[in-house]
Amino acid sequence: MENIALIESFSEFKDDKLIDRVTLMAILEEVFRNALKKKYGSDDNFDIIINPDKGDMEIWRNRVVVEDGEVEDENSEISLSEARKIEPDFEVGEDVSEEVKLFQLGRRAILALRQNLISKIHEHDNTNLYKQFKDIIGDIYTAEVHHVRPKAVILMDDEGNEIVLPKEKQIPNDYFKKGDNVRGVIENVELKGNKPQIIMSRTAPDFLEKLFEQEIPEVFDGLITIKKVVRIPGEKAKVAVDSYDDRIDPVGACVGMKGSRIHGIVRELGNENIDVINYTTNPQLYITRALSPAKVSSVKINEEAKTAEVFLKIEEVSKAIGRGGNNIKLASLLTGYEIDVIREGVAEEEDDVELREFSDEIEAWVIEEFEKIGLDTARSVLNQEVADLVRRTDLEEETIIDVMNVLKEELEG
């Protein structure tokens, strides 16, 4: 009876953790052999028969019958008189198999045995869990919100595994509540003591790349290759794509008719603006494409310093730089070149004045807002429409009109 109770206690873990039958038997045998070694000094002459499916187990001790008084090793030999207590017709030289009941190990040994059993199961489960998730680092994974904390969202998958989505790995406008399904990539698996901690990310470039694989069949099939992904999570991303099949337009295939294919990805990323561009090994052309939607006049590259001077018409500068400087920042990350914007014709504007010269009349933070979108001179601001500046900056219309009046007064005397 006590054998069955012990096995049944293990069955709870077996059902929860889905340990396979072979591993189950190996763990049980190891635990029982350790108990036998403590009790008898050796487990060499013991057979352990386990049937975990039925919940039963037997331990048999094997010894050779010797004459009374000639027992030298109690683990391998049994005296004739002791053997005949088991069966009266035993003779010297015969093998005796005697069943060992758990109670013979002692109460303390049984308690220790169960604790050891639980420890081994957890150890096995943690090792398997660590390996399982280590193998899928970089892959998309879906889990349900179990608990929302200030610094992390705790998720639970279908197998009851806990996954952590830290605040810094969430897209800025992410909002989750209990029961929501969340997609992200498994970014890392860390061992906290003996327990693996699984880290998910929604901000990693890998997440965007894997979403392309899931949503765009040509990427999944390898007809279109993603060369590089750069992101400012929740704001903007650039994806360079290529195809070895001239019949395929990689950008068109990824975006789809009227953005139909990329729309689901944009929605998943909280309306992150995604630019898809054709990859090329020509650095001038690559930089030109990377600065889209701006129209670049020309590019001058210093290959040794990995810098590029990009010449643009004044009206294209703000597009190249983008809101908050995001467009030019991502273009630099994508191409690997530090990009410097040169305004065409600025040198001819002799009466133009840098915005910084107006620091006595215009607050520094206001000047910085204009600089963020590539406007750092008086004429570059005056050449813009007020409504466009309201849309592209965090400034109020009244503030922009006041700035323009200051600039006009200076330039027009």
The CATH number of the domain where 196 resides is what? 2.40.50.140
Residue 149 and residue 126 in one domain = no
* Confidence tier at 139 by pLDDT (50, 70, 90): very high
Span 84-113, pLDDT tens digits: 888 888 888 888 888 877 766 766 766 666
Q: CA 295, CA 319: separation in Å to the nearest integer?
A: 8
Residue 187 or residue 57, greater confidence: 187
Q: CA 66, CA 79: separation in Å to the nearest integer?
A: 5
**Residue after which a domain boundary falls, among 256, 275, 294:** 275
Residue 27 and residue 126 in one domain = yes
User: Cβ atoms within 10 A of the Cβ of 196, count?
Assistant: 21
52 pLDDT above the threshold of 80: no
Which DSSP category does 168 fall into? Answer: G
* Confidence tier at 278 by pLDDT (50, 70, 90): very high
CATH code where residue 239 lies: 3.30.300.20
Residue 343 and residue 356 in one domain = no
Residue 153 and residue 38 in one domain = no
Residue 20 and residue 81 in one domain = yes
Strands (E), 291-404: 298-302, 307-312, 338-343
Contacts of 385 (CB under 8 A, 6+ apart): none
Residue 222 and residue 120 in one domain = no
Residue 20 and residue 124 in one domain = yes
**Residue after which a domain boundary falls, among 275, 298, 332:** 275
The packing angle between helices 364-372 and 397-412, to 10°, is 90
Average pLDDT over residues 6-33: 62
Residue 144 and residue 189 in one domain = yes
- The parent domain of residue 383 ranges over 349-412
CATH code where residue 55 lies: 3.30.1480.10
**Residue after which a domain boundary falls, among 131, 164, 184:** 131
**The two three-digit tokens of residue 357, written as one number:** 């010269």
Residue 22 and residue 90 in one domain = yes
Total of domains in the chain: 5
Residue 29 and residue 113 in one domain = yes
